[in-house]
Amino acid sequence: MRGNIMAIKKLVLIRHGESTWNQENRFTGWTDVALSAKGVEEAHQAGKLLKAEGYTFDYAYTSVLKRAIATLWYIQEEMGLEWIPVEKEWRLNERHYGALQGLNKAETAQKYGDEQVLLWRRGFAITPPALTEDDERFPGHDPRYSQLNREQLPLTESLAITIDRVIPFWNAVIKPRVASGERVIIAAHGNSLRALVKHLDGISEKDILELNIPTGVPLVYEFDDNMNPVKHYYLGNPEEIAAKSHAVASQGKAA
């Protein structure tokens, strides 16, 4: 019957465009840095591409960090979708990088070695050195996190800890909306999206180490009627996307 034919459910994920600290190759985490000029351009291009490919959205999610929020703005602007509801959620924030936040990644690799930096960046359950609560970078000092309880306020996070906040939010809030047929975009961060992608694709703790998400490139997931992911793909030029992912992987090397 016509009424029973369900449209393919699609979800679009996008990592924010290049930030000023991506440009300076610094560990960022929950530091609220702006997009670079290149990042603004990437966001506009992503919006143009989504529009040209016939995408539209009913609802958007982003983090409480302005590099992701602004990426979404420019996409909405390019698509004429400024009017759609946007939910800003701290659980979609970047993984908290603890006391590494602000340090240059290549300099950190010179000091501690490429291997140690790779473990800090990509080791599944490895937490970077923690902040202390009296550190001005501790999110407990930031009013946007005033509703969080002490257990929710990170001093540092591994990917495993990030998964423990991203996936419950996906399951309880975003997934039902996609399942109901709404077209959703999530503008978030390298590691909060790695958390979601690991979950959606059932990637192992070992293999997720190799996954690097490029800035500003739409990543489309298609789901069957039971919300099982059946297919995923980036929009754009595959060679450029591979080069961008490779560049992310190389950021933590000394040379």
167 is a site residue for ligand 2PG (CB under 6 A):
no
182 annotated to a ligand binding site: no
Edge to edge, what strands does the sheet with 229-234 contain? 86-88, 59-62, 184-188, 9-15, 219-223, 229-234
- Is residue 243 within 8 Å of 215, Cβ to Cβ? no
Cβ closest to ligand 2PG, residue 78 vs residue 94: 94
* Residue 39 binds ligand 2PG, judged by CB under 6 A: no
Tell me which stretch binds ligand 2PG (CB under 6 A): 27-35, 106-114, 166-174, 217-225. 27-35
Residue 29 engages ligand 2PG in binding (rule: CB under 6 A): yes
Decide whether 90 or 97 has the Cβ nearer to ligand 2PG. 97
How far is it, in rounded angstroms, from Cα 93 to Cα 31?
Answer: 10
Least spacing, CB of residue 248 vs ligand 2PG, in Å: 6
Which of these, 167, 200, 178, lies nearest to 89 by C-alpha position? 167
Write b or e for each residue in 39-74: b if 16 or more Cβ atoms lie within 10 A of its Cβ, otherwise e: bbebbbbbbebbeeeebebebbbbbbbbbbbbbbbb
The yes or no reply on residue 71 touching ligand 2PG (CB under 6 A) is no
Residue of 55, 57, 61, 97 that binds ligand 2PG (CB under 6 A): 97
- Please answer whether residues 223 and 178 qualify as being in contact, where contact means their C-beta atoms are separated by less than 8 angstroms: yes
Among 18, 78, 94, 157, binds ligand 2PG (CB under 6 A): 94
Here's the x/- map for ligand 2PG, 181-200, by CB under 6 A: it reads as ---------xx---------
Please list every residue from 103 through 142 that binds ligand 2PG, using CB under 6 A: 121
| Enzyme catalytic residues | 16, 94
Query: What is the C-alpha separation between 176 and 170, in angstroms, rounded?
Result: 8
Q: Rounded CA gap, 20 and 36, in Å?
A: 5
Instruction: Please tell me the distance from the alpha carbon of residue 115 to that of residue 126, in angstroms, as a whole number.
Output: 13
- As annotated, the binding site for substrate includes 15-22, 28-29, 67, 94-97, 105, 121-122, 190-191
Name the residues that contact ligand 2PG, by CB under 6 A: 22, 27-29, 94, 97, 121, 190-191, 248, 251
- As annotated, the binding site includes 15-22, 28-29, 67, 94-97, 105, 121-122, 190-191
